[in-house]
Amino acid sequence: MVPAPSPTPMGRPSPPVPARAGIGLRHPHVQRLLDERPKVAWLEAHSENYLAAGGPRIVALDAIRRDYPISFHSVGLSLGSAEGVDPAHLARLAMLYRRIEPTQISDHLSWSVSGGVYLNDLLPLPYTSEALDIVCRNVARTQDVLGRTILVENPSAYLSYAASHIPEAEFLAAVAQRTGCGILLDINNVYVSTHNLDGDALRYMRSLNPESVGEMHLAGHAVQHIANHQVLIDDHGSAVAAEVWHLYEQALEIIGPRPTLIEWDTRVPPLPTLLAEASRAEARLSEFRQTRIHCYAE
């Protein structure tokens, strides 16, 4: 369920994000992207990195968006905050989205603001009916102000709360069903969270309505040992793990092909490494399509 493209200020619709592999737009790669225009189906930018009034970053993004569909991924809406979504932040995002006209926007099923303090991390929610009402209210308000559908991403988690009584995937599905928002399914997060919290990754993905999933993310994670326990840390600092590629193949079976992003934003590798990672996702997407066409032909 990709949101309908909205007209640009010039009245020309932005191209939609295709069900192909994209990469995260990182500052060290901007010049090379501008100079060489490598082949990649789409780019995803972190909204909060482009909120400044002006300067080189936003000027470069203006240039890049002419050649690539841009998806904006924000981390600061704090859709799970009991105190609601900050109207000032919504206004800043609205201004940015009017300027760049992204083909898709997303944020997370998490919170990062409490008492007006921004904690700069995607903190988990207790999955309760109170939290469900709050998230739905915040998502609805966001969609109203921005005038478009948002995709909400499943978080990576290292803890759960005693008060939680709704499985996360069902909670996320309920948010999508009640607000009309889409889901950004982060395959690495499913893997990391179900490992850290003893969940079942396949059951998680089967609990979602495939129609509501508008995008997928793939990223690397770190393996840490804390007090004799193996903990997976979602640090986006390495190549996608083999187990996550396998889970992605299963996600294609369960949900279908979707625009798929390679996220690698700490210890950022050279651009060719990132593009090679994207081509691995691309290969799985096209292989999936071919086997399907084959099936239908028979």
Partner 1 sequence: MLSDLQAALRTGLLGRDDAEARAAVANGDGLAPDARIEIYRNNVFQSLVGVLAAAYPTVANVLGEAAFRTVAAAFIKSRPPRQPQLSAYGGELPEFLAALGATRHPYLPDLARLEWARNECYFAADAAPLDLGLLGAVPPERTPLLRLSLHPAVRLLGSRHDLVAIWRERLGGGGRAQDAGGEGDHYILISRTGLEVQMTELSAGAFTLALGLKLGLTLGRAAHAATLSEPAFALEASLARLLSHSTFTSFVLSDPAEEVRS
Out of 6, 14, 49, 238, name the contact with partner 1 by CB under 8 A: 49
Write down the least CB distance from residue 115 to partner 1, Å: 6
Minimum CB–partner distance for residue 138 and partner 1 (Å): 11
Contact positions with partner 1 (CB under 8 A) in 85-144: 86, 88-89, 92, 111-121, 123, 125-126, 128, 130-131, 134
127: left (phi over 0), alpha (psi -120 to 50) or beta: beta
| Tokens read off for 142 | 């966001």
30, 145, 202, 233: which one binds partner 1 (CB under 8 A): 233
Residue found under tokens 């997976």: 232
Measured from the CB atom, is 157 or 218 closer to partner 1?
157
Closest contact distance (angstroms) between CB of 88 and partner 1 is 7
CB of 27 to partner 1, least distance (A): 10
182 phi, psi to nearest 5 deg: -100, 180
Reduced to 3 states (helix: H, G, I; strand: E, B; else coil), residue 19 is coil
Q: Give CA–CA dist 21/158, Å, rounded.
A: 28
Interface with partner 1 by CB under 8 A: which range of 77-85, 143-151, 207-215, 285-293? 77-85
Structure tokens, 42: 């789409």
Q: Does 45 bind partner 1 (CB under 8 A)?
A: no
Q: Which residues of 236-248 are buried (b: 16+ CB within 10 A; e: fewer)?
A: bbebbbeebeebb
The residue (of 227 and 295) whose beta carbon lies closer to partner 1 is 227
Exposed/middle/buried for residue 72 (C-beta within 10 Å: 0-12, 13-18, 19+): buried
Q: Pick one of 10, 11, 66, 162: the residue that binds partner 1 (CB under 8 A).
A: 162
- Residues linked to residue 113 through DSSP beta bridges, in sequence order: 118
Parallel/antiparallel/unpaired status of strands 229-233 and 222-226: antiparallel
* Rounded least distance, CB 131 to partner 1, Å: 5
Q: Give the DSSP letter of residue 49.
A: G
- Please report how close the Cβ of residue 193 comes to partner 1 at its closest, in angstroms: 12
Among 51, 166, 174, 202, binds partner 1 (CB under 8 A): 51
Facing residues of 217 across strands? Answer: 186, 261
Interface residues with partner 1 (CB under 8 A) are 48-49, 51-57, 59, 75-78, 80-83, 86, 88-89, 92, 111-121, 123, 125-126, 128, 130-131, 134, 158-164, 196, 198, 226-227, 229, 231, 233
